[in-house]
Amino acid sequence: MGFKQSLYRFMQGRNGQDALGKFSLIASLILLVVSSFTRSGILYLAAIVVLGYAYFRVMSKNIQKRYYENQKYLDFIGKIKGFFSGNNRSTVDMKSGYKGYKGYNRGASGSTRSNSFWNRTKADPFYRIYKCPSCGQKTRVPKHKGRIEITCPRCGNSFIKRT
């Protein structure tokens, strides 16, 4: 049995790396670098404690508890990002990490919103909706692409818009 398979078997049933674990590793690295320049024993000790916490999270078999800790971290980061982007309603989906809006349901069963094309995409932060000037067909295009030429799928009319 090779090293890769033995490592795989060892990690089965463990939490593994998640967003909070990555943040902890980066924070410990930053603390180690700062402590080496300042020669501060307290910062070095803090870096070692944060590094130990990161490894504890990776090796933990209590996946449910680590999941909830990670979710609280993602919610906190989502609120901070929402505050600085001017959108204080920002949240992060638990499983996928999708950054959306509270109350915005992506077609899950029991949705209170209609599942029509317009309602699914009007609150989507990654796309923009434009109407064709000749036939009125709504077309979804990705945001942040600059000036693009959009061709209407219904009538073939081309128009230029800024996303």
pTM of the model: 0.48
Rg over CA atoms, the chain: 23
**Per-residue confidence (pLDDT) for residue 93, from 0 to 100:** 46
22 contact partners, CB below 8 Å, separation of at least 6:
none
Beta strands in 38-153 (DSSP E): 90-92, 99-101, 127-131, 138-142, 147-151
**Coil, strand or helix: which one is 102?**
coil
Q: Please state the rounded mean pLDDT for residues 107-127.
A: 54
User: What is the residue extent of each domain of the chain?
Assistant: 3-101, 117-162
Q: Which residue has the higher pLDDT, 125 or 112?
A: 125
Whole-angstrom distance, CA of residue 151 vs CA of residue 154: 9
Checking if the pLDDT of 136 tops 50, the result is yes
68-115: per-residue pLDDT in tens? 888 888 888 888 887 777 655 444 444 444 444 444 444 444 444 445
**Coil, strand or helix: which one is 154?**
coil
Mean pLDDT of the chain: 77
**Per-residue confidence (pLDDT) for residue 46, from 0 to 100:** 92
